[in-house]
Amino acid sequence: MSSNHIGSRIEETASRIEPELVAIRRDLHAHPELAFEEVRTAAIVAERLASLGIAHRTGVGRTGVLGTIDTGRPGPTLLLRADMDALPIHEQTGLDFASTVPGKMHACGHDLHTATLLGVAEVLAGIQPMLSGRIQLMFQPAEEVSDSGAAAMMRDGALEGVDMALGFHNYPGEPVGTFSFVPGVAGGSSDEFTITVTGRSGHAARPHLTSDPIVAAATLILQLQTIVSREMNPMRPIVLTIGVIQGGLAPNIIPDAVRIVGTVRTHHEEDRVAMEAAIARHCAGVSASLRVECALAMERGTPPLVSDAGVMAKTMKAIREHYGDEVVLEAAPSLGAEDFALIGERVPTFQLGVGSGMPGRHDELHNSDYQPDERSIRNGVVALSLAAVELLTAPVG
Q: What is the DSSP string of 32-81?
A: ---TT-THHHHHHHHHHHHHTT-EEEEEETTTEEEEEEE-SSS--EEEEE
pLDDT of residue 5: 85
pLDDT of residue 395: 56
From its phi and psi, is residue 261 left (phi > 0), alpha (psi between -120 and 50) or beta?
A: beta
Amino acid at 1: M
pLDDT of residue 393: 83
Q: Average pLDDT over the chain, rounded to whole?
A: 97
Q: Tell me how far apart the alpha carbons of residues 235 and 121 are, in angstroms, rounded to a whole number.
A: 42
Q: Is 56 annotated as a binding residue?
A: no
pLDDT of residue 191: 97
From its phi and psi, is residue 59 left (phi > 0), alpha (psi between -120 and 50) or beta?
A: left
- Print pLDDT tens along the chain (397 aa): 567 789 999 999 999 999 999 999 999 999 999 999 999 999 999 999 999 999 999 999 999 999 999 999 999 999 999 999 999 999 999 999 999 999 999 999 999 999 999 999 999 999 999 999 999 999 999 999 999 999 999 999 999 999 999 999 999 999 999 999 999 999 999 999 999 999 999 999 999 999 999 999 999 999 999 999 999 999 999 999 999 999 999 999 999 999 999 999 999 999 999 999 999 999 999 999 999 999 999 999 999 999 999 999 999 999 999 999 999 999 999 999 999 999 999 999 999 999 999 999 999 999 999 999 999 999 999 999 999 999 998 555 5
Q: What percent of the chain has pLDDT over 90?
A: 97
Residue range 66-120, pLDDT digits in tens:
999 999 999 999 999 999 999 999 999 999 999 999 999 999 999 999 999 999 9
Q: Tell me how far apart the alpha carbons of residues 237 and 267 are, in angstroms, rounded to a whole number.
A: 6
- Supply the pTM of this predicted model: 0.93
Residue range 298-346, pLDDT digits in tens:
999 999 999 999 999 999 999 999 999 999 999 999 999 999 999 999 9
- 319 closest CA partner among 378, 379, 386: 386
Quote the crossing angle between the two packed helices 39-51 and 3-30, to the nearest 10°.
Answer: 150
The phi, psi pair for 391, rounded to 5°, reads -70, -25
Q: Is 29 annotated as a binding residue?
A: no
Q: Is 330 annotated as a binding residue?
A: no
Residues 6+ apart with CB under 8 A from 74: 132, 133
CATH of 191-299, one of 3.40.1160.10, 3.40.50.11810, 3.30.70.360, 3.40.50.1220: 3.30.70.360
pLDDT of residue 2: 62
pLDDT of residue 1: 52
Amino acid at 362: H
Q: Is 143 annotated as a binding residue?
A: no
Q: Is 366 annotated as a binding residue?
A: yes
Domain 3-187+303-393: homologous superfamily in CATH: Zn peptidases (3.40.630.10)
pLDDT of residue 172: 98
Query: Where are the CATH 3.30.70.360 domain residues in the chain?
Result: 191-299
Query: Where are the CATH 3.40.630.10 domain residues in the chain?
Result: 3-187+303-393
